[in-house]
Structure 1
């Protein structure tokens, strides 16, 4: 089973639409969970999911993040290759951080020691959170799903 935890309903809806899931947000291979925004919400939900996982299951945190101008809007970021800064609030100041999200630290705390645990973020803005709509966030995630699946297959081969 692949468990995908998103902070926002609109992020999760991208997976529901892509996999044509019903209201349960799951099928025989994937389960989508919405944590709510913030480190503590993510940690609580991810901890619950971890307690239900089997040894060969995979758990993902997928969502949007802010990035500096070195990242393109819509660019998929594998957190194992880029440093994410986790903050409690949205930030509009440029030049301080490279990549910022609000949930990654909570996910990392909850999944410590889990082999198949990954964080994938999609750059939604260059520190302009006021410009992000639910539909835009959903479309960014939807457009990244095939790339996420490709990265997961590559990681499974290692």
Structure 2
């Protein structure tokens, strides 16, 4: 089973459309699913991502074949193109570094929206997802993938643009996730 955590419905919509996921509820969350995928919309922020991920963990049996995926948009320095898919290998949260894998990008997870240039890629959920999956020894495979939506100009990000950005890289997400 592929378990996906997104913060926003437009991030989820590309998967819902491509894989014809059906809408359900799981406790207080919107859950989209088919026989191979369960996708939960967490809402924005570290604690929301942690709670939504933990809800998936608590409500479904974990097998060695399961993959947990946090996917969504991020802001990045201008050295990264809008629409670029980022595979996260390190998260920096509250001045602490968490290593996921070598030869991948560093992301800083913030508690508030960032509207000024930063040195690294920035999102608002990755650490919450990581914290939930890392502390569950039954989870063997997980990925954090982000798509660059802006260069620290959050007012330019739209719902349609977000869905389009994710849809454009969905095949690349699959090749990384199932590699």
Stretches of structure 2 lacking an aligned partner (at least 5 in a row)? 25-31, 90-103
Find the aligned partners of 2:130 and 2:22 in 1 and give their Cα distance. Answer: 29
Find the aligned partners of 1:120 and 1:29 in 2 and give their Cα distance. Answer: 19
Q: What secondary structure, in the 3-state scheme, does the structure 2 residue paired with 1:32 have?
A: strand
Q: What secondary structure, in the 3-state scheme, does the structure 2 residue paired with 1:111 have?
A: helix
More helix by share: 1
Structure 1 residue ranges, 4+ long, deviating more than 6 angstroms after superposition: none
Pick the aligned partner of 1:130 from 155, 159, 163: 155
1:38 Cα deviation after fit: 0.2
Once the two structures are superposed, the pairs formed by residues 67-78 of structure 1 within 5 Å of their partners are 67-78=76-87
Pick the aligned partner of 1:26 from 30, 33, 37: 33
The reply on whether 1:149 has 2:156 as its aligned counterpart is no
1:115 Cα deviation after fit: 1.7
With the length of structure 2 as denominator, give the TM-score of the two structures.
0.82
1:54 Cα deviation after fit: 1.6
Find the aligned partners of 1:97 and 1:110 in 2 and give their Cα distance. Answer: 26
Find the aligned partners of 2:144 and 2:76 in 1 and give their Cα distance. Answer: 15
Find the aligned partners of 2:105 and 2:61 in 1 and give their Cα distance. Answer: 26
Find the aligned partners of 1:151 and 1:36 in 2 and give their Cα distance. Answer: 24
Aligned to 1:43: 50
Find the aligned partners of 1:71 and 1:11 in 2 and give their Cα distance. Answer: 19
With the length of structure 1 as denominator, give the TM-score of the two structures.
0.93
1:53 Cα deviation after fit: 3.8
Aligned to 2:69: 60
Aligned to 1:105: 127
Pick the aligned partner of 1:118 from 123, 133, 143: 143
Stretches of structure 1 lacking an aligned partner (at least 5 in a row)? none
More strand by share: 2
- What is the number of equivalent residue pairs in this alignment? 153
Report the RMSD for the aligned CA atoms in angstroms: 1.1
Note if contact 1:124-1:132 (Cα within 8 Å) is conserved in structure 2: yes
